[in-house]
Structure 1
Amino acid sequence: MANAAIPIQLATAETHNGMVIPYIALRHLDGTPEFGQIDHDRVAECLIEQRCQLCAQPLADAAVLMVRPMDFGAGHCPEPAQHPECAAYAIRACPMLSGRLRRHRDRTRPQRRQCTAAGCWCGDPVTPDLDAIVRSGQPATPWYSVWFPMAEYKLKMSARKGPRGISLAIINVKIRLVSWGDPDRDDLGRVLVYGLPLPEAGSGS
């Protein structure tokens, strides 16, 4: 599938193989992005400073979160929000959000070295977090976009590790199904319990 067209708002963004590199994406020392893995320091920066995870610019009047059923259960989204136009691009460009990737990548297998820069993390790959281990190789989960006004932006904090994510205790919110994936029983239960949108008949989601 051809790469999604990059909108004018992201015209100056850094790209790799025709795709915009999210600001929070983990990078090798040679500059190559590792799509699907995040830089936790940049995630915390965006959460605290209310910046977009894709372009790193300050969020304005409204923002969009990409949320899984399990996140609704936890009460917060662990990743930073995005500008509405950045989120629209991400939905088209990301294989998982667009529904092109039917399973999560297996993060439990040793990753081959990706670059030749001395001292890069890929010479001693980072240990996947628990969430990545649980999802590795599993069918894709449903994804929802959650639009909300920045007036209701609130972080959920942990005592020792700083911000855990953005609170989903939002009143003025618009929730849309982005990709249905192949939900298991637990996800289906969460979808029903939280009254989340279901695929429309014949939608192919």
Structure 2
Amino acid sequence: MTDLIVPPIPLPLQHIPTAGGLVVPWITPRTADGRYLFGSVDRDRMRRALLNRWCGVCGQPLEDRAVLMMRLSDLPRQCTSEPALHPWCAAYTSESCPMIGGRLDRYRSSLPRLDANMLPAPDASARQSAAAEPWFAVWLVGYRVITDHGNLAASYSGMKPLRIRPITWRLPSIL
């Protein structure tokens, strides 16, 4: 599977830094030597985005609709540690992120080289070389911030989602 797709950058995201032609999500950490660690999260920014209801891609306040990008294993728990996104940021993410877009079969086999002041994601070692899961976009009017397995998370438990749209879930084709 190929993992490099460079979709056009939507107008509301034109002001955000890019790397390799891709928008760098606001929650993506940057090392002291200037590398962006795609696929990793800056825990402080992730926490601020969740608590302030800011978009994880552009860092701007969410409006009347929010989209949670969720793995299949997140759906039964109705929560994710990833901050919600604006609908246009979610659409761009579905096209540009190779994991969410379904262009990778497995998570990376080695953890990224972090600066001394950075911590790996809590589930980084569990995901290392693991098979990729199907992804879904969960559209909401709002969410609650909860603690899930010791980490802050966006939850829609007790709320009815506007819709749950499969991104990479593929029904078997009938021949």
TM-score if structure 2 supplies the norm length? 0.86
Q: 1:140 aligns with which of 127, 132, 136?
A: 132
Q: 1:176 aligns with which of 165, 169, 175?
A: 165
Shift of 1:130: 4.4
Aligned to 1:164: 152
- Aligned identity (percent) is 36
The one-letter amino acid paired with 2:73 is M
Q: 1:9 aligns with which of 12, 35, 54?
A: 12
Aligned to 1:72: 75
**Poorly superposed stretches of 4+, deviation over 6 Å:** none
Higher fraction of helix: 1
CA offsets, 1:133-185, max 9 Å, x none?
Answer: 111101111111100113xx2111369x6x621113121430011113xxxxx
What stretches of structure 2 of length at least 5 have no aligned partner? Answer: none
Q: CA RMSD in A?
A: 2.3
Contact 2:29/2:37 (<8 A) preserved: yes
TM-score if structure 1 supplies the norm length? 0.75
Larger Rg belongs to: 1
Taking the aligned partners of 2:117 and 2:161, their CA distance within structure 1 comes to 41
Aligned to 1:193: none
Shift of 1:20: 0.2
Contact 2:94/2:100 (<8 A) preserved: yes
> CA, structure 1 residues 125+51, in 2 after alignment: closer, same or farther (shift >3 Å)?
closer
Contact 2:70/2:136 (<8 A) preserved: yes
Q: Count the aligned residue pairs.
A: 170
The one-letter amino acid paired with 1:145 is A
The one-letter amino acid paired with 2:147 is M
Shift of 1:87: 0.4
What stretches of structure 1 of length at least 5 have no aligned partner? Answer: 113-120, 181-198
